[in-house]
Structure 1
Amino acid sequence: MLLPFILMVSSSFKTSAEIHAATFHLLPEKLTFHNYTEVFANGKWGRWFLNTVYVTAVVTGVSLLFNSLGGFAFARLEFKGRNLLFMLMMLGLMIPSQITMIPVFLIIKTFPLTGGNNIFGFGGTGLINTYGGLMINHFAGAFGVFLCRQYFLNFPKSLDEAAAIDGCSPWRTYFQIYLPLSQPLLATFAVLKITDMWNDYMWPLIIVNKEDLMNVQLGLTVFKNEVIHWELLMAGTTVVALPLIVLFLLAQRFFLEGIVTTGIKG
């Protein structure tokens, strides 16, 4: 598992001649930091990192709210058609994202009253080439609701009964009781969502064509043209991957705890 990362970091310190040499060496014969300075000299990396951090932070925060609300409703609230709705929602996990890309793109393009569109969604570009277009379809999903539902099923029914006796509404029960008890779940889902958004390449490639709206994954494509500059690409990939590695190391305890306890109904 570590070998690809070792090769990536090692290649980022090699020269182009050493990478293309007939003899392979795992470690660079001559250590050079020129690749890293060259990476930041090509492209608007400050802007691209800012875009990625902004989109990732907003999507993660909104996703934690929406998905945990959906999971709470399916796990703790009794309403007619709950199981049927949950089953229909879970069908979304069986549909590959590639199949929904074109319909979602059309919805983004015809979003009413945005990008010059009229109230019926015609006449403009909608949310294309906007931060909203990059984020809106990531706010909620079947997997996030399922993960939260399975975690909330672990709590005993007496917790809801005690909250009702104290006069708590479902909203107050959710915000004051369940959310404070769900730190492992929220940390787990946040790590998964941050990783997903930080590594997102296909959707930004489809929805934006302005350099100022690119994220770091699209930024790496500046080193992939007619000739692939592997030493620069590996240096750029190392820089882009470093924040996620640090995040996982810091949140590893919550991540493992959340994964272990999710799905165990007590």
Structure 2
Amino acid sequence: MTRNEHVLLTTARYLPLVVLALIFIFPIVFMVMSSFKPDMQLLNDTTSLAAFLPVGDISLDNYAAAFRRVPVGLFIFNSVLVTAITMLASLALCSLAGFALVFINWRGRDIVLAAILATMIIPFEAIAIPMLLLVSKLPWIGAEGLAFGWFNSYQVQIVPFIADGLTVFLFVQYFRDLPGELIEAARVESASWWQVYRRVVMPLAGPVTATAAILKFLAMYNQYMWPLMVVQDEGYRPVMIGLQYFFQLSVPWGEVMAYLSIITVPVLVFYVFLQRAFIASIAATGIKG
């Protein structure tokens, strides 16, 4: 193959991917660029490519106004805290459940797995009201002692979402594809099930862990309906509830774009971090294999 043929083949292979990436990134570019513009210019620029360029009257006024209107830092802290704790607890609990459902023989295992998978077809709207009634009566020991009801708290946004059928299913499917000889060899060496899980299975589970982490992060960070039902105290509200502050009055669209740009930062940071961790886990798995 000549050099020109190689260039043409590479271009034909990657050009559709570049076009697809641009289609997905255009809304983000528009959002960020619009956050620096006053409303009149923002609306006028939507009819041309200037909407995607930092041209015209560029300033940080929209960001300053967004911080004055909404406690952005507090909302981001709440969302990151709730999302991080839920994600880590979910990965730990669901991976343990998947390990037990795949590698340990016990009576009723298939029935339990079927019941877990059945929960995936139940929409959240169908269980929202029963969950609301349940958390309104649950006890909790806090700084003020024993209290009943989890409203206006972090735990009401975390505990109900730690275990979910999709995450268990992902780990079960991945664990089933692991070589059984590794588990048998570890058991022959008198390793306990906990040692097998921690030292053999989980070091090989980087790809599925990263996938489950992404799905859980996005689901929790974008939570809107449940926090709207159980959190009325501003001190515990997540970022998505903060959008309400921008639709109560005639708020400039530039401020809305600024707020959306700010709350997107944790998602981008998490993606970059997880991408590096994912690549490292793939490399480590390949070396061990």
TM-score of the two chains, using structure 1 as the length reference: 0.86
- What CA deviation, in whole Å up to 9, does each residue of 1:201-254 have, x standing for no partner? 211111100011111111232111132431101111011112212322342366
Question: Which residue number corresponds to residue 204 of structure 1?
Answer: 227
Give 1:145's match in structure 2, choosing from 168, 172, 192.
168
Among 50, 60, 71, which residue is 2:98 paired with?
71
- 3-state SS, counterpart of residue 151 of structure 2: coil
1:54 corresponds, among 74, 81, 84, to 81
Q: What letter is aligned with 1:19?
A: L
Alignment-mate amino acid for residue 81 of structure 1: G
25, 30, 47: which is aligned to 1:2?
A: 25
How far 1:23 moved relative to its partner? 6.8
Q: CA separation of 1:23/1:108 partners in 2, compared to 1, >3 Å: closer, same or farther?
A: closer
Contact 2:140 2:150 in 1 (8 A): no
The residue number in structure 1 matching 2:124 is 97
Shift of 1:256: 8.7
CA contact (8 A) 1:113 1:126 kept: yes
* Structure 1 or 2: more helix by fraction: 2
Q: Distance in 1 between matches of 2:46 and 2:122?
A: 45
Q: In structure 1, list runs of 5 or more residues that go unmatched.
A: 259-266
- CA apart distance, 1:81: 1.7
Distance in 2, matches of 1:217 and 1:125, equals 27
Displacement of 1:101 in angstroms is 0.9
1:170 aligns with 2:193: yes
Structure 1 pair 113–249 and aligned structure 2 pair: CA distance change class (3 A): closer
Cα distance between partner residues in 1 of 2:240 and 2:233? 14
Residue 123 of structure 2 aligns to which amino acid in structure 1? P
The whole-number CA distance in structure 1 between the counterparts of 2:95 and 2:119 is 17
Corresponding residue for residue 263 of structure 1:
none
Q: Which ranges in structure 2 are unaligned for 5 or more consecutive residues? A: 1-23, 282-289
Contact 1:184 1:254 in 2 (8 A): no
Alignment of 1:1-266 (within 5 A): 1-21=24-44, 24-25=47-48, 26=51, 27=53, 28-112=55-139, 126-252=149-275
Aligned residues: 252
- Cα root mean square deviation, aligned: 2.5
Q: Larger C-alpha radius of gyration, 1 or 2?
A: 2
**Contact conserved, 2:183 with 2:200, CA < 8 A, in 1?**
no
When normalised by structure 2's length, the TM-score is 0.79
Q: What amino acid is aligned across from residue 100 of structure 1 in structure 2?
A: I
Contact 1:204 1:214 in 2 (8 A): yes
> Secondary structure in 2 aligned to 1:79?
coil
